[in-house]
């Protein structure tokens, strides 16, 4: 089968590789659609931290946002899964350690991460092996585009949950990229007043095209009461700005990762009596995200700029994209193109 393989920093190619065979408790999914994100771009550039800690190594097959159809089942898997449209969790814990048995399998020390950690192959390929326990069925209303947006949506949903807001309260989202905009959509669907803080006019113009009227730059953000701040940016200065802007006694949620360490003054955290939450992964948020998409309460499809084939992935990861694609942040891949 064909798969996109990163062989070294800045180097990648579409290769013919052996198709996966399902092991016990596993299925093989025929991939309909896969998304690429900032983590994938970091693998392509060589900046991704796992490359420097030994948790990932070249060559690597990326892709962890996906939707497809179960094509094969392994031993012990109910054959009723065959032909079902699915997506799945990226984080594959061992299943038996204390973290896994206490509902924190996404933090398992020995976990695989599909297309990211410990060599589990990713979804930028025609077929993908997945443990059946990680699968989530997709209803008819959730098409392949929506299915491949469930994983980033689950991250955003968990971040919005962690903000602890009620309808009518005010949320500031720093970083109007895919996760930030998904969080904004999910929060708005819950009756929360959403404000967005971005770097430049094009990204904020796109946010306004989605109906978000309250968009600001660092120079223009007004002195409002922000009941929570959600940092979905990659800017190392943003975490400290979140501490500065949030209302005392409320919450900051960090889901973005900067390439270099970002500093906050813990004295301010204490003196403002803040709750600070970090969010890693969509685990625990996938099923509810599917429901939001299926019901129409949240429609993330406008975030997809284009759908391309495997041969175009390297250009996407190198941030070479046609101006005609506009300001939408997400690019999807059809592995059969």
Q: How many domains does the chain have?
A: 2
- pLDDT exceeds cutoff 90 at 259: no
Q: Is residue 68 part of a domain?
A: yes
Phi, psi dihedrals of residue 201, rounded to the nearest 5°: -60, -45
248 and 160 in a common domain: yes
Tell whether 122 and 175 lie within a shared domain: no
pLDDT at 131: 98
Whether 180 and 143 share a structural domain:
no
145 and 7 fall within a common domain: yes
Q: What percent of the chain has pLDDT over 90?
A: 98
3-8 average pLDDT score? 98
Q: Which CATH number is 17's domain given?
A: 3.90.180.10
Helix 178-189 vs helix 150-163: crossing angle, to nearest 10: 60
Q: What is the mean pLDDT of residues 42-52?
A: 96
pLDDT at 164: 98
On whether residue 284 sits in a domain, the answer given is no
Does 143 lie in the same domain as 192?
no
Name residue 215's beta-bridge partners: 196
Residue 229 lies in a domain: yes
Mean pLDDT value of segment 123-129: 98
170, 195 contact by CB (below 8 A): yes
Instruction: Residue 21: give the domain boundaries.
Output: 2-149+300-333
pTM: 0.97
Q: Please report which confidence band the pLDDT of residue 201 belongs to, taking 50, 70 and 90 as the band edges.
A: confident
Mean of pLDDT over the chain? 97
Instruction: Looking at the structure, tell me whether residues 74 and 112 fall in a common domain.
Output: yes
- Note the pLDDT tens digit of each residue in 71-93: 999 999 999 999 999 999 999 99
Report yes or no on 293 lying in a domain.
no
Task: Determine the Cα–Cα distance for residues 5 and 15; give it in Å rounded to an integer.
Answer: 7
Say if 295 falls within a structural domain: no
- 89 with 117, same domain: the answer is yes
Name the token pair of 102.
Answer: 């206490």
Same domain, 215 and 134: no
């Amino acid at each position: 089968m064909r798969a996109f393989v990163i062989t070294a920093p800045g180097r990648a190619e579409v290769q013919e590789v052996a198709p996966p065979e399902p092991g016990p408790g596993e299925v093989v999914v025929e991939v309909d659609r896969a998304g690429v994100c900032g983590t994938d771009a970091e693998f392509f550039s060589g900046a991704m931290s796992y490359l420097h800690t030994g948790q990932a190594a070249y060559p690597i097959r990326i892709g962890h946002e996906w939707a497809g159809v179960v094509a094969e089942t392994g031993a012990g898997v109910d054959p009723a899964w065959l032909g079902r449209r699915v997506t799945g969790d990226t984080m594959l814990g061992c299943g038996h350690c204390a973290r896994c048995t206490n509902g924190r399998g996404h933090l398992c020390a020995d976990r695989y991460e599909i297309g990211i950690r410990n060599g589990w192959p990713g979804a930028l390929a025609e077929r993908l092996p997945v443990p059946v326990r990680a699968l989530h069925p997709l209803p008819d209303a959730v098409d392949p585009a929506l299915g491949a947006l469930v994983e980033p949506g689950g991250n955003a949903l968990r971040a919005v949950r962690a903000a602890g807001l009620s309808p009518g309260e005010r949320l500031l989202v720093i970083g109007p990229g895919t996760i930030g905009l998904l969080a904004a959509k999910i929060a708005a669907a819950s009756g929360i007043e959403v404000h967005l803080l971005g770097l430049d006019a094009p990204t904020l113009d796109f946010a306004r095209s989605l109906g978000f009227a309250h968009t600001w730059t660092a120079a223009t953000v007004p002195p409002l009461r922000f009941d929570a701040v959600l940092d979905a940016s990659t800017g190392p200065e943003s975490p400290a700005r979140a501490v500065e802007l949030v209302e005392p006694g409320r919450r900051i949620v960090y889901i973005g990762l900067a390439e270099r360490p970002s500093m906050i003054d813990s004295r301010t955290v204490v003196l403002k009596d803040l709750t600070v939450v970090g969010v890693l992964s969509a685990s625990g948020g996938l099923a509810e995200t599917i429901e939001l998409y299926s019901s129409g309460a949240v429609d993330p499809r406008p975030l997809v700029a284009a759908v391309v084939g495997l041969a175009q992935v390297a250009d996407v990861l190198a941030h070479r994209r046609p101006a005609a694609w506009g300001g939408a942040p997400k690019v999807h891949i059809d592995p059969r193109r």
